[in-house]
Amino acid sequence: MEIIITVVITFLFFSIILRWFFRLITNDVFFKFANERTKANQLELELIAERKRHDAVSILYLETAKRLNEVSANQDRLVVAYEQLKSAKIISSNKSGSSMSLQTWRRIVKLSHPDVHNGSKEAEEVMKILLEMKPK
């Protein structure tokens, strides 16, 4: 009878120890998994934020390139207008002898204004000449 009691007590003791050990291992594995999943979620959020920053920079780059092309086109138009005025000898005409109408003069001033061309020296030169040529 003592042997049976000893076996039962030993069995219960090992059963309790095995349950405790199994819970310990299970909890440890669960917490490791949960911790790894949390790290993965943080990395995913960082990746999403980095993609948003990249997209914003790409948009700014494209807008800047577009604006640069516009400015370049405006400067090219200014040079063409300057050359046309120069070749037509309108620039060299005297102040009062200009045959240009006020409406034409205003249009040329609007197209060649330094503010439109980011304050380029060519635009300033053309503007000085046009202001001298203003029809009355």
Is residue 107 in some structural domain? yes
pTM of the complete model beyond 0.75: no
pLDDT at 94: 46
Quote the distance between the C-alpha of residue 112 and its chain's center: 31
Is residue 60 in some structural domain? no
Q: pLDDT per residue over 92-108, tens digit each?
A: 554 445 567 888 888 88
112 and 78 in contact (C-beta within 8 Å)? Answer: yes
Tell me the torsion sign for CA atoms 112, 104, 77, 110. Answer: positive
pLDDT at 11: 83
Is residue 101 in some structural domain? yes
Average pLDDT score over residue span 53-64:
94
State how far the Cα of 26 lies from the Cα of 38, in Å rounded to an integer.
18
Is residue 106 in some structural domain? yes
Backbone angles phi, psi at 99, to 5 degrees: -95, 10
Is residue 114 in some structural domain? yes
Is residue 65 in some structural domain? no
Is residue 108 in some structural domain? yes
**89: phi > 0 → left, psi -120 to 50 → alpha, else beta; which?**
left
Residue 112 banded pLDDT, cuts 50, 70, 90: confident
pLDDT at 55: 94
Is residue 121 in some structural domain? yes
pLDDT at 91 over 70: no
Tell me which residue range forms the domain holding 125: 71-136
Q: How many domains does the chain have?
A: 1
pLDDT at 44: 92
